[in-house]
Every structure is written in structure tokens, then in C-alpha cells.
Chains A and B, each alone.
Chain A
């Protein structure tokens, strides 16, 4: 299950030199919580609505003079489209982030994978598993104790 098959391809982006004010307006108009910051075709990071709020209102950055590149972290965290989904979850955990830009072999942006996407996939899998469990239970015994000798022993 490569990330590239499951990421969102319709991604809102913003140029690294655009201001925080224009980012805020884009977020409000387009109803999104984050924008991928691009330099050319290459992602330099992700700017969230929270970043904008705290940088401007708490740290006092001038929203009309600060380029978005100055409001995001240093080294961009990206994931290649061929990477397995499991590794995406591990990366999010390790870096404590919820959104990762997905890139191709030339490091160009192809999409974004979010923890919500992964959650949806897990939920679908779980629902499949729950269906299999329900199908195996004889009618009317869902949740009942297994018959003697059929359940796993507990030591």
C-alpha cells in the first residue's frame, strides 16, 4: 500500500514568498486548515491555520510583511509516493505531525497524506474485520461466550 495511492492529490498550495495575510485569506476562502508551501514545484513545508494564528497574534509577526516561508519550520519533512502507508504513520508519530507532503522521484509535490486519511483507512479495515467477526458468529450469539473448546485458552 504505497502512500501515493492513498494521498489527496487535490492540494491547496501557496508560494513561499506569499504573506501570512494572503495565507489566512486563502484558508478562509477555500475552507482549508493547511497549505503546502512551495518553492518552484518542491514543497518546503506545511503552513497550518494554527501557525498563522500564533505567529501573528502571539509572536507579533506582521502578517502583511512576513513571507510564509518564515513561519514554517526549517527542514521540510516529506514522504515519497512509493513509501508504504505504515511508514507514513510512523513518520507522523516520530515527528508529531499530522500532514505530510508526498513527493515523486524528482522531489516534486504530488499530494498530501494526513492522519485523518490514515484514520479513515484504518476505520474501513476495522469495519471489514468487524463484518467478518459478525459473519462468523452464529445468529443471535454475537458477543456471547464461545462454546467450550472453541475459544482460545487463557493461561
Chain B
């Protein structure tokens, strides 16, 4: 996982002489919580968050139209290279106790990666993992169901075969008995006629 997959490339910036009012307007207009401060060569030099405006301007009773980004910004910037692995960025956020890291490419501002962006991305990946697990469970349940049905089917076939055999045996027995009975009758009939023998004239 590389940082370039996670950062936002559209970053709200302001010059060093932007006032607290300018910065608050940008934060409101673009619905962002921070503005990256750039120098005359557009190199990123600091960052001002909505919290900085409250704690460094309003709490200190600064005059909003007179206090400048240069006085309010946090320095030095916590930065990352676009090709760095994301794990290293997370580690840097932890050690510097910041939620946002400015992404540079060849020393120039390329984007901003926030802890929130990472959570959103992680959430998506977890969602995918959850879906994969759900489908795997479903598949193995279906497989279990198939195997159970096959076992039931085989049992039915075995029972059927057994009963066919039983019936077959019964039929054979019956036929055999009938045949034997018939043979006995035939034997008896022919035997008694033999006993009677040709009648002598009486």
C-alpha cells in the first residue's frame, strides 16, 4: 500500500499573509479542516487547522483581520513522499501526534493525506473482507447442503435397491413356491393315476 493510493490531490492553500478571516472562509467554502500555507514560490511551509484558528487567534483575542497565516501556522510541516508505504505515514502521524501529513513529489506540494482518509480507505477494505468472508461462509454452507442432499439421495437409492431386492426375492420365492406346489400337484396327479393303473376288466 503506497501513500499515493490514499492522498487527496486537491489541497486548499493560502499565502503566508492570508488573515485568520481569509483562512476561515476557505475552510468553510471548501469544507476542509486545514489550509496548507505556501510561500511565494508555492512551496508548502506550514499548515493552519480550524483548531489553530480557535486556539491561536480567538483564544488569544487576536484581531481576525490582522493576524496572519505566518503567525498561526504549525511548523515544520510533517511531510511524506508519494511513494512511501502508508504504514510509515501512519507511524509518522502517531509520533508527531498529527492527523494530517502533506504529500510532496520532488519537493513540491502533491497532496494531503489525513487520518480520516485512511480510516475511510481501511473501512472500504474491511467491508470487502467482510463481504468475502460472508460469501465464503455462504459457499461452504451451500456445499454442506449439497453434500447433505447427495447423502440423502444415496441413502434413498440404497433403500430403494434394498426394497427392490426384497420384492424381487419375494417374487422369486412366490414363483418358486408356486412352481414347487404345481410340480407337487402334477406329481401327485400322475402318481395317483399310476396307482390306479390300467383297470383290469371287472
Contact = CB atoms under 8 A, between A and B. Distances in A.
A49 B24 contact: no
Given A50-B50, A119-B119, A57 B136 contact: no
Given A153-B143, A154-B139, A21 B58 contact: yes
Interface stretch (A9-17, A24-32, A79-87): A24-32
B66 to A, nearest CB: 12
Contact of A53 (B54, B60, B61, B139): B54
Given A54-B27, A57-B20, A57-B21, A49 B64 contact: no
Interface string A58-88: 1000010000000000000000000000000
14 contacts: A21-B61, A24-B59, A27-B54, A50-B51, A53-B54, A53-B57, A53-B58, A57-B21, A57-B24, A57-B64, A58-B25, A153-B139, A153-B143, A154-B139
A78 B140 CA distance: 42
Contacts of A100: none
B54 A28 contact: yes
Given A50-B33, A63-B58, A153-B140, A57 B51 contact: no
Contact of B59 (A25, A126, A153, A154): A25
Contacts of A25: 59
Contacts of A20: 58
B169 to A, nearest CB: 42
A148 interface: no
A33 interface: yes
Interface residues of B, number: 27
A54 B28 contact: yes
| Chain A contact residues: helix, strand, loop or mixed | helix
Contact of B136 (A28, A29, A58, A152): A152
B82 to A, nearest CB: 25
Contacts of B59: 21, 24-25, 27-29
A52 interface: yes
Contacts of A58: 21, 24-25, 27-28
A52 B54 contact: yes
B119 A49 contact: no
Contacts of A154: 139
A56 interface: yes
A53 B50 contact: yes
B51 A49 contact: yes
A152 B140 CA distance: 6
Interface in B63-83: 64
